[in-house]
A and B are shown apart, each in its own frame.
Chain A
Amino acid sequence: EAGVAQSPRYKIIEKRQSVAFWCNPISGHATLYWYQQILGQGPKLLIQFQNNGVVDDSQLPKDRFSAERLKGVDSTLKIQPAKLEDSAVYLCASSLGQGAVYEQYFGPGTRLTVT
């Protein structure tokens, strides 16, 4: 079974530029998550999708971050414009459904450096 795919793996941009990350979850997984992991910290949930609907985006900085999952499969996370403090690893995860009993499977992450 293929795992969660993410691209690109690494990205370096200057502040005020825009960037987009892509995630392809495990086939059949209805729930998709985007996490931000700053160096030395644990991952922090940015947004959660159930199929193509948003379940939780309370920690997403909506003035600069946006995410979509139009067909309920792949998802993109965009930052526009980027700030220095956005430097982090962006992790995508997916699970079969909502609820604590469903294990989350993580992708390898995209490491973003904003200079």
Chain B
Amino acid sequence: SQELEQSPQSLIVQEGKNLTINCTSSKTLYGLYWYKQKYGEGLIFLMMLQKGGEEKSHEKITAKLDEKKQQSSLHITASQPSHAGIYLCGADRWNTDKLIFGTGTRLQVFP
């Protein structure tokens, strides 16, 4: 089984709608990372969360890490076509920079 579970696997939303992607681990995380990947391209770093209850925002994207540091959510407000892509969560469980990744959530935004 995957160590990091992402849900949903895919998401299709209309432009302007809000959406949430979840990332869940069965074990406590030292760090949780969110990346975005467009088809045929590498991963683009979005945010890193380390403290329980931490929340970070960048433009219209907000990420939270729960108090137990086992679940994170990524929330996009007023989605745009430019938000389309695959969102990957990565976790650092052993306080090293060895990341394990979830399977990703494919987001499509239509006008």
Whether both chains belong to one complex is answered with: yes
Say which residue of A42, A45, A100, A102 sits within 8 Å of B104 (CB atoms).
A42
Instruction: Describe A's contact surface by its main secondary structure.
Output: loop
Partner-binding segment picked from A13-21, A68-76, A105-113:
A105-113
Contact, CB under 8 Å: A42 / B50: no
Contact, CB under 8 Å: A111 / B88: no
Most buried by B among A43, A45, A105, A107: A43
State whether A106 and B42 are in contact (beta carbons under 8 Å apart), knowing that A42-B101, A100-B97 are contacts in the complex.
Answer: yes
- Nearest B-chain residue to A97, judged by Cβ: B97
Contact, CB under 8 Å: B96 / A108: no
Q: Which of A1-44 contact B (CB under 8 A)?
A: 4, 9, 31, 40-44
Q: How far is it, in angstroms, between the C-alpha of A45 and the C-alpha of B94 when the chains are bound?
A: 15
> Please, which residues of chain A bring their CB within 8 A of the CB of B100?
42, 45
- Nearest B-chain residue to A95, judged by Cβ: B97
State the interface size on chain B (CB cutoff 8 A).
25
Say which residue of B35, B42, B90, B103 sits within 8 Å of A41 (CB atoms).
B103
> Please, which residues of chain A bring their CB within 8 A of the CB of B92?
100
- Nearest A-chain residue to B43, judged by Cβ: A106
Query: 23 A-B contacts, Cβ less than 8 Å apart?
Result: A4-B42, A9-B40, A41-B103, A41-B104, A42-B100, A42-B102, A43-B88, A43-B101, A45-B99, A48-B98, A95-B97, A99-B95, A99-B96, A100-B48, A100-B95, A103-B45, A103-B48, A104-B45, A104-B97, A106-B43, A108-B41, A109-B42, A111-B40
Interface residue ranges, A against B (CB under 8 Å): 4, 9, 31, 40-45, 48, 56, 91, 93, 95, 98-100, 102-109, 111
Minimum-distance CB pairs A-B, first 6: A42-B101, A106-B42, A106-B43, A100-B31, A100-B92, A108-B42
Interface residue ranges, B against A (CB under 8 Å): 4, 30-31, 35, 40-45, 48, 50, 88, 90, 92, 95-104
